[in-house]
Amino acid sequence: MTHHLRRLIIIAVLLAIGAGLGWYWSQPKPVVVRLQAVERGSVEASVANTRAGTVKACRRSRITPAIGGIITGLPAKDGATVKKGDLLLELWNHDLVAQVELAQREAEANRARATEACVVADVARREAERMQRLRKQNIASEEATEKAVGAAKAKRAACDAAKAAIEVADARIKVARENLERTLMHAPFDGTIAEVNGELGEYVTPSPPGIATLPVVDLIDTSCLTISAPIDEVDAPSVKPGLSARISLDAFPGETFDGRVRRIAPYVLEIEKQARTVDIEADFTDPADTARLLPGYSADVEVILQTREDVLYIPTEALLEDQRVLVFDPDSETLQSRQVETGLSNWKLTEVTSGLEEGERVVLSVDRKGVEPGALATPEQAK
């Protein structure tokens, strides 16, 4: 074989290889897709909050004194557990204590005067009765009898006035004690002190009208916690008190808590540049679930509107516009567009009433490049 012939053979082989590679690279490449089989089970229709909700105590009291004054007693401490009626804070009140004592002394004096006046009135009454008997016997004069009767009436009036003065004195004591009570802050219920904003010797003032200031003592009843969350106004008519709910918290990823809708706000909240929402409140079904929770945790609430058992369903993310899905055909290894009819749906699952069979696999990665009807496809390998 001549050198020229060998060169021609090599060139021919290279051209054949190039043609083969060109043909190979010109063929359409299968797109890798993520698939999910159509399954049978339960599907729920639900609505969820539009923004993060909050764990709240059923009772919370931000306590501020009704009058200004210097703090002279501060039994309240951050994190302390208190009982209803426990003293939390005391302002300087020596003058008011003195007023209470003065009012009590005045009341005691009024009682003594009333006793004296009523004894005198009783004596005058008996004298008047004696004079009336003597008058009937013509022993006492009419003038003396009338004078005795009039004196008895006057003494009785003085007795009644003295008794009324006792009531006035008692009312003064009550006023003085109420003024004194304004300097004492007591726990309105059993709870835990979240925060104390004050120190001994500081001067505190009540909040001016329309201006919010920090409470001196923030008291929370942690024995009862609830979830407050906003839902879209469009979903509000379908939510009713008593519906079941699932509660999830960022502080406990992967966990859900059973709950129940307790209350729906009777008004729509309008916040600038945000959608209009309606606040709902949900309670925990099992009170023991709240043992680990703290007021202020962020929370999400999914309200269950309706549940259907033993139905076909697909992941909601597989559903395209116009009620279509892409189905993987294992025989041709292509993607086929399929029209379906759906029933109940939520953000995760959608019920399929017709158009699919159990076990068929639908495409989840619908946003990937090249994912379209008729495209060659290969299933993504599970990691």
Number of other CB atoms surrounding residue 113 within 10 Å: 17
The full 3-state SS of 185-251, as one line of letters, equals: EECCCCEEEEEECCCCCCEECCCCCCCCCCCCEEEEEEEEEEEEEEEECCCHHHCCCCCEEEEEECC
The answer to whether residue 143 is domain-embedded is: yes
| Residue 363 near residue 35, CB atoms below 8 Å | yes
Q: Are 230 and 256 in a shared domain?
A: yes
Alpha-carbon gap, residue 249 to 80, rounded angstroms: 26
Coil, strand or helix at 166: helix
**Domain holding 198: CATH number?**
2.40.50.100
Q: Which residues of 322-343 are buried (b: 16+ CB within 10 A; e: fewer)?
A: eebbbbbeeeeebbeebebebb
Q: Are 274 and 322 in a shared domain?
A: no
End-of-domain residue from the set 250, 273, 307: 307
End-of-domain residue from the set 307, 331, 357: 307
Q: Over the stretch 275-331, which tens digit does the pLDDT of each residue have?
A: 788 899 999 998 888 888 888 899 999 999 999 999 999 999 999 988 999 999 999
**What single letter denotes the amino acid at residue 261?**
V
Domain of 79? Answer: 65-91+183-214
Q: Are 200 and 252 in a shared domain?
A: no
Q: Are 286 and 239 in a shared domain?
A: yes
**What single letter denotes the amino acid at residue 378?**
T
Q: Over the stretch 199-245, which tens digit does the pLDDT of each residue have?
A: 888 898 877 666 667 788 889 888 888 999 998 888 889 999 999 99
| Residue 34 CA from chain centroid, whole number | 41
Task: Tell me which residues of the chain have a pLDDT lower than 50.
Answer: 23-24, 26-27, 383
Q: Are 191 and 249 in a shared domain?
A: no
Counting the structural domains of the chain, the total is: 4
Q: Is 265 left (phi over 0), alpha (psi -120 to 50) or beta?
A: beta
Q: Are 336 and 208 in a shared domain?
A: no
